Amino acid sequence: MSMALHIFHFLSCLVLIAVVLAQPDRGDGMAGAFGGMGGSVAFGVKTLDVLWTITIVAAVIFMATALGLTLLDKGRNRIQPAPVTGPPAPPAH
């Protein structure tokens, strides 16, 4: 289960990187970040809608698998206390 989730998480990382890099640069500053008009669309509006949808789906899958891996790893305690190898020190007065 854990290995399959790790592989799915890795694949979602690759897809997320690919779709973010495939999106055209808007180049219109803060107006583009918040949906303002400006800039040219090289591939058409429909392509941008598809890329935007794929980006959102990939991001949600990435976050879900990251949360799942965290919850699976939470039960494992990897830090072991050091073993006690001698008599305890005498109390200080």
Digit-coded pLDDT (tens) for 44-91: 556 667 888 899 999 999 999 999 998 888 766 666 677 777 777 788
First to last CA, the chain: 55
73, 64, 72, 51: which is closest to 13 by C-alpha?
64
Residue written as token pair 């965290």: 70
pTM: 0.59
